[in-house]
Amino acid sequence: MTDNTPQIVAFCCSNCASAAANVAEGMKMTMPGNVKIIQVPCTGRIEVLHLLKPFEEGADGVYVAGCQEDSCQYVTGITKAAKRVAHVKKILEELEIEPDRIEVFNLSAGKGQEFVEMAHEMTGKIKGLGPVLP
């Protein structure tokens, strides 16, 4: 965290979240600069290790933005991702790090505004928690 600006990594599904990002861009809505987006073909490919690595490298928060559970292009991608996020929450808890530092969000391709809002929401929440390091 620099100057109380949390570093956040967002894993975004290319079918919905990234499409939503394009919509947001078209609406001239800007993403907060502290959120680094990693685009993935399907959130089902994101493994526990991928979710831990940003924390290891100094990130203050991580989130996964994927499809609605009933409209995942690859059927169960986002459901799998949600389970892995839940698992990482448990790991963080065991390390006495706030589990709220990692979240999963569902959205659909047209929801540009929501896409930008979730980045702000996460930034606000992590700001409230402060940096991971004491």
Partner 1 sequence: MIVAEPKPIKEILEMVRDLKKILIVGCKGCVTVCNVGGSKEVAILASTLRIAAKKNGKEIEIGEETLERQCDPEYIEEIKDIINDYDAVISIACGVGPQFLSERYPATRVFPGVNTRFMGGAIEHGIWSERCAGCGTCVVHYFGGLCPIARCSKSLLNGPCGGSNNGKCEISGDVDCIWDIIVRKMMEQGRLDELLEFKPPKSWMTARDGGPRTMTREELVK
Kindly state the smallest distance separating residue 91's Cβ from partner 1, in Å: 6
- The number of residues in the chain equals 134
Kindly state the smallest distance separating residue 5's Cβ from partner 1, in Å: 19
Q: How far is CA 78 from CA 3, 37, 74, 83, in A?
A: 33, 17, 9, 9
- Angle at CA of residue 6, ends 4 and 10, nearest 5°: 165
* Binding site residues, partner 1, CB under 8 A: 47-49, 52-53, 55-56, 58, 91, 94-97, 132-134
Q: What angle do helix axes 77-94 and 48-56 make, rounded to 10 degrees?
A: 50
Q: Which is nearer to partner 1, 3 or 56 (CB)?
A: 56
Q: Which is nearer to partner 1, 47 or 121 (CB)?
A: 47
Kindly state the smallest distance separating residue 96's Cβ from partner 1, in Å: 7
Q: Which is nearer to partner 1, 38 or 95 (CB)?
A: 95
